Structures are given as C-alpha cells and as structure tokens.
C-alpha cells in the first residue's frame, strides 16, 4: 500500500520527513512511502515575530487539512510546534526516540555564554529562550529573528550578531553539529515541551496505520513526552507565553520534571523541579508551584444590583486597574467603561441554562488569565458569594495555586426590595428574612423548606424564580401561608427599566403574567411588602425608560452619559476611537512668538500642555498670547491649567469660532491651531491669507473597531447621540445597512449633521446648542410633550 507523508519544504522539515520515510521503508518493505511538500502559514509570514502570529499551530494547519481530506496519510512535524491537543479528527501516534532536547548557542566569536562580551547581541525567535537567557545574563541584548537555520546563520554574520540560540535537535538532523558552540544545560534553560521529538499525526480512525507507527515507538520517550505535553496543556495548551518542560524517566519507575513558565511581558518567570510516578499528579504539582510564585491576583468583585452607581468604592478601584475582566450577564455594562485602555474584556454570561461558558471553563479561564495579567477581575452581578458561585471559583483558584481576594457587592436580594420601597426587615413585622434561589441545577424548582418559610413572619425572598412564580405560590400556600399575604415581583431592579408588581399571594402570579414582567426578577413575600405604599417615593425622571447609545472617543465615561443617567435614561457607550498624543517638543523662542492659540477640543488642550511639560516649559512663556476656544468644555479644560479663554463664540461650533476669529486676528499675527492629525483644514483654508497661520498636530484621533459584544441588541435603543464627526463616521461604517435599527440620530453640531446627510441619512435631530447640555435639552424637549416619567426608588 502507498502512504503519503506530508511535510513542510524547509531543509529541516525535509530531513525529518526523510528520516521517517527511511525508517518506515526499512520496517515495512511491502509498503511504499512518498513525500508531499506543503507550504504553511508560518512559511508565508516572515515579517512578524512568532508571538504576534500565534506560535503554536502556524506550521501545521495546512498539513492537518490535507490529512483530514485524505490527500496525506501522515503529517510529520516537530512536536514542540504542536498545540496541546491535535485538531478534531486527528491523533498523534506514540513518540519515537527523540533527538537531543537541549537548546544550544551558536556564537560568532565567543567560546561560551559566560565569555560573551557585556551587552552582546544574541538572536532567538523564542520568548522562552529570551526570558531564561536574561535570567542568566541580564546584560545581554536579546533580539528577535525568523527564518530557517541557514537564513539565521547568514543573518548572524551579515548583521554582526554575537550569537544565536537554536535547538540541538535541528542541527543534529541537518548534520551541522560542528556549528554548536555550547549546549545549554536544561537546569539553566529548560527546553520547550517535547523538543527533539517528532510528531506523527494521522486520522483518528486509521487504526492500521496507527499500529504500524506505534510499533516503532520508544516507551520511555513516549512517557516523557506525555508528561511534558500534559504540562503544556495545563498551562494553556497553544498559548504563546514562554513555557518549558523537560522530563526524564528515573530508575524507580517514576519521572522527574523540570518546568518553567513566564508572562508575556517577561517581567515574571518561575522554575520548578518535581518528581513522582503519576504523570497527572506530577504535572499538577509543577503547575501549582509555578502559579504560587508568579500568578497575578484574581479579584472576585460584586458589581451590585444593576445601577452602576451602586458598585463599592473598592470594586470600582480594582476595575480601573484590571488587566482582564471576566464579566457576567447582569453586570452593568457602564462599569466596563471604567476599565483601563487595553483591558481584555471576556463575556461569560449565563441565561436560562444557555451558557456562553460552562462553570468549569470559567474556572480554567481565570487560572489561565492569572498567568497573563497582574490583576484579573471576575465581575459578577450582586455579591459574588450570594448565589453567584464565587465560592466555587475561589476554591478552584486556591487549589490551582492562584491568589484571590473577594470584594463584596450589594446583593440584589436586599437592594431590589429597597429600590421598590420594600424593607426586608421592619420592627414589629419582620425581624429577619429568608433569601433563597428558586432555580435548581437541573432547571426545576430548588429544594426549599417552604414549611419553615410559611411558619414564620420573616420576609421570604426568591431569586431566579420568575418562571416558577406560580409553583412558589402554590408551595407557600400549601405549607400554610395565608393567601392574602402581600407579595411583590421586582423586575430589572435598580435600573431605568425597573418594573414592580404588587398583589396578594393568591393573585400575584396572574398579575405578573398580565404585566409581562421579564427576568431578571426578585420575588418578595411578607407583611413588609405592604409598606411600599408609604416608602415608595416617586422621583421625577424625565427620561426614565429611554435608552441611548453614545459612540465615544477614549475609554473614560463621557460627561454626556452622566448627564443622561441623572435624568433617568439608560445609557451605553461604544468606543470607536482613542486619543494618542504625538511626541513633540517646543522651544521657548517659538512659544514666545505665538499671538493666538486656537483650541477646538479639550483633547487639544490636554495634548498642548502635555507637550509643554515634556519640553520643560511653563505658562510664563504664554504671557503675550491670546487664546480662542470653540466652546464651554474646551474652555473649562483650559481653566484646569490656570488659563482663561480670551475668545469663545456664542454658538459652540467651528464655523462660529472662525467667524469671531476673523474679527480679532490681525495681519502678521502668528496663529497656532492645535489639532488632531486626521482633523480637517477649514481654519487653515480660511485664515492662511490673513495671518501667519500654523497647524500644530499634537494628537491623533485613532480609529478603533467598535465591540458590539456587550451592547444591548434585542431591546434596541431610542436613539444614538453623536458628539463629533469622527464618532458618527466610524459608527455608521461599523453598522452599515443596520443603521436604521438603532433608532433616531441626534447630533451635537451642524458638521456632524452634515456628515449624516452625506451618508444619505435624513431626519437627524440637531441640538440647539453645540454642547452636551444642548443634546440633553433636545431629548428632554422631545420627551416632555404630554408625558410624565417617574422612576421609583
């Protein structure tokens, strides 16, 4: 029978494939074995470091595809390049005898690592090697390198590099042992998992071929490789972080394992040496020891009952410092806007047994992210230990060597009732309360002691029980609770969508059904519910029940969002850009020569004074300079730096600013317009002929692809508010033909409105004044005709 062997086309890959073909041909002369060269993504992308394109799998996916479609029968790879688990439908056969697993130095002049000159330049494409070499010689300058062995050797001489770090196995298989200057002891530089081992990959159902290949395997090497790859899987499988593992069989029948792991930035690294007979236990022990040394802190944070303002001070503090946030469905999305730039946001929500992630997957994710970030936040609605499975996550983290801390939150079991005007305790009515989850693991009603609830006067609170309201009522009355006991169901508590139904126990199910109450909801039963008539004070919220979307630049919560929330509106913000300062230095001479400084945004003000500070200059140099600003907010930002604007138009618009400037700027005066790199040139075009006009680019409004993952979709919005042209353009580019589904469009100024018209969008609404307050007044006027909005708290 003829078998096709798939391989890459490099010298080393072909040498490995020829070795496999030779062994198979000698062992099975009745069969024929041919080679097929396949070009992979790793062969095509040569201008980026491996860590930027995905270190595991980039040299194998195309080969795996041809194995799966039957073009190739055997894929030959370097096992160290393989992900922790093979692709679905494929398996690895048992390892054959491995080549030398050590890393080696190939040096141009020096005789060893210690003989390298101070600050010597050594090249490697591996973060694992870089991290460990820096641990041995912190003075070394470690640089990246790509290409096959010949290419790297050529670069070493052409670029006058002091040396390279390569795998001994590759040089041995190419017959290039003479190039090796020094073998690095695995105690000093732990090799990659399964380095020196060939991976033979076949289709999972090809049992005949599986037996042929396994007959040539090496039992000791197969066992050692299994331990090393188990460690790789435990630490994240195909992750691009620095990971090393070197296993050896010992005489007693067990294994010894050297392992290392480091974070992506290279600031943390840990090594461990363990021994044992059980591979799984051995790997777990090594992983736990490493995590105890370098894992970041995981915070289990309660986000509160729904209102973002009800998160605790400490909770908000850790959110603002987090490197990664894993958040649930009931977390107020506004809190995610408080995360720092670059924070990784991962949704792990659950609803009606539809889980984006199962709990075990979330547990593993928290452990994995703790090895990537100094601070990970697990953000959960309410309190993490009240029906939030936070304790399960804490136990899992402890068992895996990851430190964690709990930041309690305001539980909705109490807060929902309070926001509905229902105290859970009241002297003479209820001296305590029972809070239970109505939802069992199998989806039915939880095992609740209804007799104990019905026998006392304490308030009964049921979480996650909306769909089981009728069953809860029947069980309570069946246990002896009077049918006329007051009951309430609070939906979407502590949010602009809060809705409350109140009745007696006998009729509450019908009332809830007629009202169309939706989850999440809290059920409260007890005499205290009757106090709602006295404690539920209606507050006037003119925008209650309205929901708006604000595309924004930067990570900070906008003042516009705060103003709208103060009026009772639900607001979500969508980041569509980021402000990035340019590196610019001023001289005292050029600042003294400015007649006018013109600012059209607070970002320009911030960027200008940042550049002044970086230049070692201060406000005294602006003594003879006058300043013009486009509007109130820009003027307020200027005041923060101790200066007041000399000129501000009555209408906060670029066209109005231009008009007043023309009346004040004199011929020969030097005018600096501080602007973004991608802003238009309307001021330059109008003023260049009448003064010495200069555009000073100090920042860039850099576009960012918006993430709609946590934006409400099913309920939709009442409108989208645009505060600048770039936000409008980027949002409309992102939504494309779906623009109509986001409701009405509201613009802060005429240029933003012109942008909408240019896109063919008619019927937009323009604020009377080009300011945040102007937009709010527009919405208030639109919603005030014949309507009264009350939000109950």
Identify the pLDDT of residue 267.
82
Mind listing the pLDDT tens digit for each residue in 447-482? 999 999 999 999 999 999 999 999 999 999 999 999
**How far is the C-alpha of 90 from the C-alpha of 124, rounded, in Å?**
31
pLDDT band at residue 265 using 50, 70 and 90 as cut-offs: confident
Dist CA 488 CA 472 (whole Å): 13
Q: How far is CA 441 from the centre of its chain?
A: 29
Residue 52 has pLDDT above 60, yes or no: no
Instruction: Tell me what the mean pLDDT of segment 348-372 comes to.
Output: 83
Q: Which of 487, 557, 564 is nearest to 529 (CA)?
A: 487
229 burial via Cβ count (<10 Å: 0-12, 13-18, 19+): buried
Of 657, 656, 668, residue with least CA distance to 693: 668
Least confident of 27-41, 168-182, 328-342, 348-362: 348-362
Angstrom distance (rounded) from CA 176 to CA 12 = 11
Residue 792: pLDDT band with limits 50, 70, 90: very low
Please give the helix or strand (H or E) that residue 164 lies within, else none.
strand 163-167
CA 683 to chain centre: 39
* SS3 track for 422-456: CCCCECCCECCEEEEECECCCCCECCCCHHHHHHC
Q: Quick one: which of 421, 417, 458, 416 has its CA closest to 533?
A: 421
- Do the beta carbons of residue 771 and residue 563 sit within 8 Å? no
* pLDDT at position 240: 67
Instruction: Tally the residues of the chain.
Output: 793
Q: pLDDT grade, residue 89 (50/70/90)?
A: very high
- Kindly name the residue from 61, 155, 317, 350 that is annotated as catalytic: 350
In this predicted structure, the answer to whether residue 20 has a pLDDT above a threshold of 60 is yes
pLDDT of 787: 39
Unique residue bearing structure tokens 């604020």: 767
- Contact criterion met (CB below 8 Å) for 722 and 745: yes
Torsion 59-61-64-65 (CA) sign = negative
pLDDT at 337: 84
Token pair belonging to 638 = 């200027």
Question: Quick one: average pLDDT of 359-376?
Answer: 94
Rounded distance between C-alpha atoms, residue 60 and residue 7, angstroms: 9
Contacts of 691 (CB under 8 A, 6+ apart): 595, 596, 665, 666, 667, 668, 669, 670, 671
347-364: average pLDDT: 79
For the chain, the straight-line distance linking the first and the last C-alpha, in angstroms and rounded, comes to 79
Distance (Å, whole) CA 499 – CA 462: 16
Percent of the chain with pLDDT over 90: 74
What pLDDT does residue 530 have?
95
Cβ(793)–Cβ(496) under 8 Å? Answer: no
Nearest-CA neighbor of 103 among 164, 183, 176?
A: 183
**390-399 helix and 359-370 helix, angle to the nearest 10 degrees:** 50
Residue 150 falls in the annotated catalytic set: no
Q: Give residue 789's pLDDT.
A: 37
Query: What is the predicted pLDDT for the residue at 785?
Result: 43
User: Does pLDDT of 4 surpass 70?
Assistant: yes
Residue 791 pLDDT grade (very low, low, confident, very high; cuts 50, 70, 90)? very low
pLDDT band at 344 (very low <50, low <70, confident <90, very high): very high
CA dihedral for 363, 369, 375, 378, sign (positive or negative): negative
CA–CA separation, 425 and 101 (whole Å): 68
The distance from CA 62 to its chain's CA centroid, rounded to whole angstroms, is 29
Which run of H or E residues covers position 523? strand 521-525
What pTM was estimated for this model as a whole? 0.80
∠501-502-508 over CA atoms, to 5°?
A: 85
Alpha-carbon 606 to chain mean position:
27
What digits encode the pLDDT tens for the residues 605-614? 999 999 999 9
Q: Give the helix/strand (H/E) hosting 34.
A: strand 32-37
Average pLDDT, the chain: 90
How many C-beta atoms surround the C-beta of residue 265 within 10 A? 12
pLDDT of residue 783: 82
Q: Are 151 and 263 in contact (CB under 8 A)?
A: no
Task: Identify the pLDDT of residue 651.
Answer: 83
pLDDT for the residue 539:
62
Measured at the CA of 573, the angle between CA 568 and CA 576, to 5 degrees, comes to 160
Please give the biggest Cα pair distance in the chain: 97
741, pLDDT greater than 60: yes
Flag whether pLDDT at 714 surpasses 70: no
Q: Name the residue with higher pLDDT: 590 or 439.
A: 590
Is 557's pLDDT higher than 90? no
Query: Quick check: is 350 catalytic?
Result: yes
153 band by pLDDT with thresholds 50, 70 and 90: very high
pLDDT of amino acid 788: 39
Tell me which of 61-70, 202-211, 465-474, 740-749 is least confident.
740-749
**What are residue 286's phi and psi, to 5 degrees?**
-65, -45
Name the 3-class secondary structure at 248.
Answer: strand
- Extract the tokens encoding 59: 């040299």
Q: Please write the tens of the pLDDT for every residue from 482-524.
A: 999 999 999 999 888 889 999 999 999 999 999 998 899 999 9
Angstrom distance (rounded) from CA 230 to CA 84: 8
What percent of the chain stands above pLDDT 70? 94
Summarize the confidence of residues 255-266 as an average pLDDT: 90
* Choice between 440 and 18, residue whose per-residue pLDDT is larger: 18
> Among 100, 103, 307, 328, which one carries the catalytic annotation?
328
pLDDT value for 44? 62
Using the predicted structure, report yes or no on whether residue 786 has a pLDDT greater than 70. Answer: no
Confidence category of residue 538, pLDDT binned at 50, 70, 90: low
The set of residues, in sequence order, having a beta carbon less than 8 Å from that of 206 and lying 6+ positions away, is 73
Which residues neighbour 286 within 8 Å (Cβ) at sequence distance 6 or greater? 231, 257, 259, 272, 274
Which 8-state DSSP code applies to residue 382? B
Q: Are 576 and 734 in contact (CB under 8 A)?
A: yes
pLDDT class of 50 with cuts at 50, 70, 90:
low
pLDDT recorded at residue 183:
98
- Going by C-alpha positions, the residue among 449, 419, 416 that lies closest to residue 434 is 449
Listed residue (776, 683, 763) closest to 723, CA to CA: 776
Angle at 762 between CA 756 and CA 764, to 5 degrees: 70
């Amino acid at each position: 029978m003829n078998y096709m062997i798939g391989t890459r086309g490099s010298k080393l890959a072909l040498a490995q494939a020829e070795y496999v073909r030779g062994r198979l041909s000698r062992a099975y002369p009745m069969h024929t074995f041919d080679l097929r060269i396949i070009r992979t993504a790793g062969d095509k992308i040569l201008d980026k470091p491996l860590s930027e394109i995905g270190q595991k799998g980039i040299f194998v996916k195309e080969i795996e595809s041809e194995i799966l479609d039957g073009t190739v029968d055997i894929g030959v790879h370097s096992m160290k390049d393989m992900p922790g688990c093979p692709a679905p439908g494929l398996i690895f056969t048992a390892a054959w005898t491995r080549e030398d697993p050590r890393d080696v130095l190939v040096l141009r002049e020096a005789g060893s690592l210690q003989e390298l000159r101070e600050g010597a330049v050594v090249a490697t494409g591996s973060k694992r090697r870089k991290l460990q070499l820096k641990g041995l010689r912190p003075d070394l300058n470690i640089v990246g390198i790509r290409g096959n062995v010949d290419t790297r050797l050529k670069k070493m001489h052409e670029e006058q590099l002091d040396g390279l770090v390569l795998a001994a196995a590759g040089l041995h298989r190419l017959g290039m042992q003479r190039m090796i200057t020094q073998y690095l002891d695995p105690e000093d530089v732990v090799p990659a998992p399964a380095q020196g081992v060939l991976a033979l990959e076949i289709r999972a159902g090809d049992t005949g071929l599986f037996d042929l290949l396994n007959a040539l395997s090496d039992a000791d090497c197969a066992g050692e490789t299994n331990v090393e790859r188990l460690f790789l899987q435990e630490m994240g499988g195909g992750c691009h972080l620095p990971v090393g593992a070197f296993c050896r069989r010992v005489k007693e029948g067990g294994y010894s394992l050297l392992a290392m792991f480091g974070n992506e930035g290279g600031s943390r690294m840990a090594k461990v040496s363990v021994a044992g007979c059980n591979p799984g236990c051995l790997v777990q022990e090594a992983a736990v020891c490493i995590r105890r040394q370098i894992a970041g802190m995981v915070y289990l944070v309660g986000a509160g009952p729904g209102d973002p303002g009800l998160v605790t001070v400490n909770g908000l503090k850790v959110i603002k410092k987090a490197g990664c946030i894993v958040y649930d469905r009931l977390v107020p999305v506004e809190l995610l806007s408080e995360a720092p730039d670059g924070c990784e946001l991962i949704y792990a929500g659950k609803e009606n047994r539809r889980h984006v992630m199962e709990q075990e997957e979330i547990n593993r994710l928290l452990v994995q992210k703790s090895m990537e970030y100094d601070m990970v936040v697990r953000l959960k609605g309410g309190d993490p230990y009240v029906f939030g499975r936070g304790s399960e996550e804490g136990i899992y983290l402890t068992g895996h060597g990851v430190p964690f801390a709990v930041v309690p939150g305001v539980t909705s079991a109490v807060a929902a009732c309070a926001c509905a005007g229902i105290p859970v305790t009241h002297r003479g009515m209820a001296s305590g309360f029972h809070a239970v989850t109505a939802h069992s693991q199998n989806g039915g009603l939880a095992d609740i002691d209804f007799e104990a609830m019905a026998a006392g006067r304490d308030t009964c609170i049921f979480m996650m029980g909306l769909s089981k309201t009728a069953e809860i009522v029947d069980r309570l009355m069946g246990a002896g609770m009077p049918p006329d006991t007051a009951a309430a169901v609070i939906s979407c508590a502590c949010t602009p969508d809060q809705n409350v139904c109140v009745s007696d126990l006998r009729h509450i199910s019908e009332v809830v059904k007629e009202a169309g109450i939706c989850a999440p909801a809290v059920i409260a039963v007890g005499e205290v519910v009757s106090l709602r008539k006295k404690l539920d004070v209606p507050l006037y919220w003119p925008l209650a029940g309205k929901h708006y979307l604000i595309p924004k630049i930067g990570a900070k919560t906008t003042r516009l969002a705060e103003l709208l929330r103060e009026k009772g509106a639900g607001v979500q913000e969508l980041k569509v850009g980021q402000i990035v300062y340019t590196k610019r230095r001023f001289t005292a001479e050029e600042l003294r020569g400015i007649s006018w400084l013109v600012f059209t945004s607070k970002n320009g003000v911030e960027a200008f004074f940042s550049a002044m500070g970086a230049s070692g200059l201060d406000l005294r140099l602006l003594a003879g300079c006058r300043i013009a600003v486009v509007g109130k907010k820009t003027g307020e930002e200027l005041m923060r730096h101790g200066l007041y604007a000399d000129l501000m138009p009555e209408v906060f618009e670029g066209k109005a600013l231009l008009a007043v400037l023309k009346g004040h700027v004199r011929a020969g005066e030097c005018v600096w317009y501080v602007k973004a790199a991608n802003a238009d040139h309307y001021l330059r075009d109008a003023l260049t002929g009448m003064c010495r006009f200069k555009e000073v680019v100090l920042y860039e409004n850099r576009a960012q692809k918006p993430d709609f993952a946590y934006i409400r979709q099913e309920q939709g919005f009442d409108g989208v508010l645009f505060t600048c042209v770039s936000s409008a353009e980027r949002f409309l580019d992102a939504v494309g033909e779906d623009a109509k589904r986001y409701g009405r469009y509201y613009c802060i100024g005429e240029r933003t409105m012109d942008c909408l018209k240019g896109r063919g969008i008619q019927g937009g609404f323009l604020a009377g004044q080009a300011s945040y307050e102007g937009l709010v007044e527009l919405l208030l006027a639109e919603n005030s005709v014949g309507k009264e909005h009350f939000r109950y708290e």
